[in-house]
Chain A
Amino acid sequence: MRVIREFKIKAKDFIHAGEGSMEIRKALKSLNLNAELVRRISICAYEAEMNVVIHGGDGTMSMALDDTGVVIEVTDNGSGIDDIDLALKEGYTTAGVEAQQMGFGAGMGLPNMVRNSDFFKIESEKDYGTYLIMCFKFNK
């Protein structure tokens, strides 16, 4: 499995947020992958990136692939998630007012990632940060 993209995500940078995911989408399109797969990965990358921007400290996202599929990993050194089960519930959010006024923080980010990935795992440690991994298979 080789890493083909890696980039930093800046906390609270709502303006440039999403640029990393767009880069990931361009890289996937240039590989001529199935359009539906590219769509699913793009949604997941965007939601993960936005979560770091909204809630994280700074973070990184990487995308790796081999013959069987694509793996996206995201880490941040933000405040961590108190209750992951609650965070996975549709509609639950801890996003601030500023983020919500811009249309972020609908409480749909994690559910969108779960729905659009073939494997999803999240680990979080209060005051240290969050790590998540999402896998996408080429042949489902």
Chain B
Amino acid sequence: MKVRDIQSAFNLEVAAGGGGLDREVVDGYCGDLLSDVMANAGRGSVWLTMQSHQNILAVAALKELAAIVLVNGNRPADDTRARADQEGIPILLSQGSSYQLAGMFFNAGIKKKEG
């Protein structure tokens, strides 16, 4: 599944990083503590968070995450958007909570295959 598939399926606004919409999504992770995401998010994950500052792109790029979804109506600042465009990592926006979105993504088949 590609980032653009979940973006269109759930009608998420693309705030930045549209150049990366064809990145492959293989798993997901929810977290607002950056070290937790650094430690535990898997490559190719879609990351659900309320953090909207520029440093989330450093985490996403270093961990090769597929995309970032800002939950609860959070929006990125201009410098965050510029960084996402530069890295080619999409930032998607939703009014929903991490819980709701994680459930929807999981049901849509975004989950790491066991084994």
Contacts and interface: CB of A to CB of B under 8 A. Distances in A.
Contacts of A46: 38, 58-59, 62
Chain A contact residues: over half helix, strand or loop, or mixed?
Answer: helix
Contacts of B35: 47, 50, 104, 106-109, 112
B61 A25 contact: yes
Contacts of A97: none
Most buried by A among B36, B39, B43, B59: B39
B53 interface: yes
B86 to A, nearest CB: 10
Interface string B1-45: 000000000000000000000000000000011111011000100
B114 interface: no
A99 to B, nearest CB: 10
Interface of B: 32-36, 38-39, 43, 49, 51, 53-55, 57-59, 61-64, 79
A71 to B, nearest CB: 19
Contacts of A43: 38-39, 62-63
Contacts of B55: 14-15, 17-18, 102, 104
Interface of A: 14-19, 21-22, 25, 39, 42-43, 46-47, 50, 102-104, 106-109, 112, 115
Contact of B58 (A21, A107, A115): A21
